[in-house]
Amino acid sequence: MLLKSIILEIYNHQKQSVVPKKGMIEREILHKIKLNTDLVIIISGIRRCGKSILLQQIIADKLPDSSYYNFEDHKNINFETEDFSKLKSIFQENSVNNNFIFDEIQNVKGWENFIRTEQDLGNKIIITGSNASLLSKELGTKLTGRHISYELFPFSYSEFLNFKSLQAYKISFTEYLEKGGMPIYLQNENEEVLQQMFSDIVIRDIVVRYGLRNSKIIKELGLYLISNTGKQMSYSNLRRTFNIGSTNSVVQYISFFEDSYLLFTISKFSYSLKKQSVNPKKIYSVDTGLSSGNSLSFSKDKGRMLENAVFLSLRRKYKNIYYFQEKRECDFIVKHKNSIIKAIQVCYELNDDNFERETKGLLEALHFFNLEKGFIITLNQKDEISSENKKIELIPAWEWCCYNHEE
* Predicted confidence (pLDDT) per residue in 196-219, tens digit: 999 999 998 899 888 998 899 999
3-state secondary structure of 396: strand
Q: What is the mean pLDDT of the chain?
A: 91
Query: 338: alpha, beta or left, given left = phi > 0 and alpha = psi -120 to 50?
Result: left
Q: Dump pLDDT digits (tens) for 277-297.
A: 778 999 999 999 999 999 877
For residue 102, give the H/E element and its range: strand 99-103
The tens digit of pLDDT for each residue in 368-402 reads 999 999 999 999 999 999 999 999 999 999 999 98
Of 94, 84, 134, 138, nearest to 114 by C-alpha is 84
For residue 104, pLDDT over 70 is answered with yes
50 Ramachandran zone, left/alpha/beta (phi>0; psi -120 to 50): left
| pLDDT at residue 107 is higher than 90 | no
What pLDDT shows up at residue 258? 94
> Is 129 a residue whose pLDDT tops 80?
yes
Q: How far is CA 63 from the centre of its chain?
A: 25
What angle is formed at CA 176 by the lines to CA 131 and CA 56, rounded to 5 degrees?
A: 50
Q: What is the pLDDT of residues 300-313, one digit of tens each?
A: 789 999 999 999 99
Arithmetic mean of pLDDT, 115-137: 82
pLDDT at 191 over 50: yes
